[in-house]
Amino acid sequence: MTGIPQIDVTDVTDDATLLDVREPDEWQAGHAPGAVLIPLRDLPGRLAEVAAMGEGTLAIVCRSGHRSGQATAWLTRQGYDVTNVAGGMQAWQRAGKAMVTESGAEPRVA
């Protein structure tokens, strides 16, 4: 996506808070440690949670970068300091970055 702030997955620090806008079943398959799930369709009604996520730029992630790009564009228009994780969780996994599941199963990108 052009015209929105983006960050390369390799530039996301291990202690960064990520906003994951995928669906719950995708999240359950595997997600970044410390990420917070707010599905894209729920985002408008959960802005207070986004605001409570702390200071600094918030990285937004989905499976491929498309939905997170939409979320980044929309949240930017709402005045939030956000950036899209280019390539999403697919790029995250390819880069060998840590992933977890709540069930303890082997994490994967669904």
Active-site positions?
62
Q: What value, to the nearest 5°, has the Cα angle with vertex 19 and ends 77 and 79?
A: 20
Which residues neighbour 46 within 8 Å (Cβ) at sequence distance 6 or greater? 38
Q: Look up residue 43 and give its two tokens.
A: 């985002």
The pairing of strands 18-20 and 36-37 is parallel
Q: Which residue has the tokens 């939409």?
A: 70
Q: Look up residue 62 and give its two tokens.
A: 């989905």
